[in-house]
Chain A
């Protein structure tokens, strides 16, 4: 695990601003996005902003990567695909991620967010992240 980088991830101004927490129990990580009116995207429903939920899933995916192995730098998203399954209501959101594959440069991660029931997810994310494992060969010399 990369404890120092997990701290860096969680103390980043954006992450702290929206109160995201990562609860680590052994090798399992659950993200918590506490409800805040500033997260609401559409007050008519009311539903949380899709961007806020997507960003939260991305943070949980990065956190899970950092927990799964020692990395030299924060994972950088290459691409993400987010499916919105239900409106995220004005309540706390939780999320967990699975590292589907982690190579020497790229990791493939799936994450799922839910509110009331784990079997009724509000959104899922599937993404690729650029990673720098500590054991990997040094980056090619730039000429």
Chain B
């Protein structure tokens, strides 16, 4: 069962960033993906600074990274077949990220049953025991319509805009 899921995760892994324009825009990388667990990172970029005085990355980068990595853990936790949508996302910002440091995030699906998955994640800038932020989120499976899927595949091949 887990082997099947792992196989589907491996197949879809290249699309997890490349298939999401916002993840591409923020330069996300996928580090690890196993059933119910995911690790991703966001490289430091001056174009994504939130406070010019301190040079720290904007909280939005961490929000998006945590949402994305939680979504991936939920996707694997729910069997790696359907796209999960975020129901809610709660983030505690423990401390500012250090300027110049990449952000790493690790997520774990705590429980999933059919339609809903509960996920917890940690974001850090080098030491996971000294996190920048922690998150807890709930996801629900959505089934995109066939027409919407075909439209999206065409858009991703550059055949027509979304």
Q: Which residues of A contact B (CB under 8 A)?
A: 8, 11-15, 17-18, 37-52, 54-56, 58-59, 74, 76-84, 87, 90
Contact = CB atoms under 8 A, between A and B. Distances in A.
Contacts of B19: 43
Contact of B60 (A42, A43, A58, A84): A58
B126 interface: no
Interface of B: 19-25, 46-53, 57-61, 63-68, 71, 83, 85-93, 96, 142, 144, 148-149, 151-152, 155-156, 161-162
A84 B92 CA distance: 18
A110 to B, nearest CB: 14
12 contacts: A17-B47, A38-B21, A39-B21, A42-B83, A42-B144, A47-B85, A48-B22, A52-B22, A58-B63, A76-B96, A80-B91, A82-B91
A87 B52 CA distance: 32
A51 B87 CA distance: 12
A77 B22 contact: no
> Interface majority SS on A: helix, strand, loop or mixed?
mixed
Nearest to A43: B152
A45 B60 CA distance: 22
Contact of B88 (A44, A81, A90): A81
A78 to B, nearest CB: 6
A51 B22 contact: yes
B22 to A, nearest CB: 4
Which 3 A-B pairs have CB atoms at the shortest separation, nearest pair first? Answer: A51-B64, A55-B60, A14-B58
Contacts of B86: 50, 82, 84
B155 to A, nearest CB: 6
Given A13-B46, A54-B67, A58-B60, A42 B20 contact: yes
Contacts of A38: 21-22, 24-25
